[in-house]
Amino acid sequence: MFCGEKKSDRPVSLHVSGTNFQISVWKALLQIPPARVASYSQVATAIGRPNSARAVGLAVGANPVAFLIPCHRVIQQSGKVGGYHWGETRKQAIHVWESARYEQPQP
C-alpha cells in the first residue's frame, strides 16, 4: 500500500487481450508469490508447455501491465535477473522492495 492509499477488500480487475498462450503465461505469473521468482522454463512447465521457455519469454515481454501482472518475478534459469522493459536496475529494485515488504524475518 502506498502512502495515503486506502486498502480495498476487492482485487484489482483488469481487461487485457492477448493470444491464448500469452494469457496462460500471464495467469501463471499471477501465481508467483510476491518476493519469489520463477525461471522461464518453470513458467513453461507450469502452463503445461515445458519446451516453450523462449515463447514464455516473448509472452512475458508482451505483458501490457508489467507491474500488475508481475513479469518482474521471472528470471533466467541461471539465476540472472534478465531483461525487463524498464531495465534490469528497476527489475532488481522491485525484487528488493518486494523482499523487504513480503518476506518474513528469520528468528
Residue 86 Cα distances to 4, 71, 72, 82, 101, angstroms: 26, 11, 10, 12, 21
Q: Which of 47, 71, 74, 94 is catalytic?
A: 71
Verify whether residue 3 is a known catalytic residue. no
79: left (phi over 0), alpha (psi -120 to 50) or beta: left
Whole-number Cα distances in Å, 50 to 20, 38, 65, 107: 16, 13, 25, 37
**Residues catalogued as catalytic:** 71
